[in-house]
């Protein structure tokens, strides 16, 4: 769904390079295991509490990111050039 694509891709661009291996594994589980994409969106926006297996520091990071405290315009996914930038 478009909302998750925008939210998760922008979150990934901002955070993946700083995450530990354990956090990367938790993020991978979050984006691949739930069968309903809307669940991820509801958990990230705090409309519903996540189940215990997804209530972790990565979910806390995603929830904080979803609050968009800087009031950034988040209308589209980022270009993928950032994947090829040196660390």
Residues 6+ apart with CB under 8 A from 25: none
- Report the pLDDT averaged over residues 5-25: 95
Share of the chain above pLDDT 70, in %: 98
Residue 18: pLDDT over 80: yes
- How many helices, marked H, and strands, marked E, lie in the chain? 4, 0
> pTM, whole model, 2 decimals?
0.85
Indicate the average pLDDT of the chain.
Answer: 92
Average pLDDT over residues 65-79: 89
Residue 80 has pLDDT above 80, yes or no: no
């Amino acid at each position: 769904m478009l909302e998750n694509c925008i939210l998760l891709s922008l979150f990934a661009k901002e955070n993946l390079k700083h995450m530990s291996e354990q956090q990367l594994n938790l993020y991978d589980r979050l984006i691949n295991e739930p069968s309903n994409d809307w669940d991820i969106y509801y958990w990230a926006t705090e409309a519903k509490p996540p189940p215990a297996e997804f209530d972790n520091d990565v979910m806390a990071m995603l929830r904080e990111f979803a609050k968009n405290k800087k009031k950034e315009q988040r209308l589209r996914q980022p270009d993928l050039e950032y994947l090829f930038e040196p660390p």
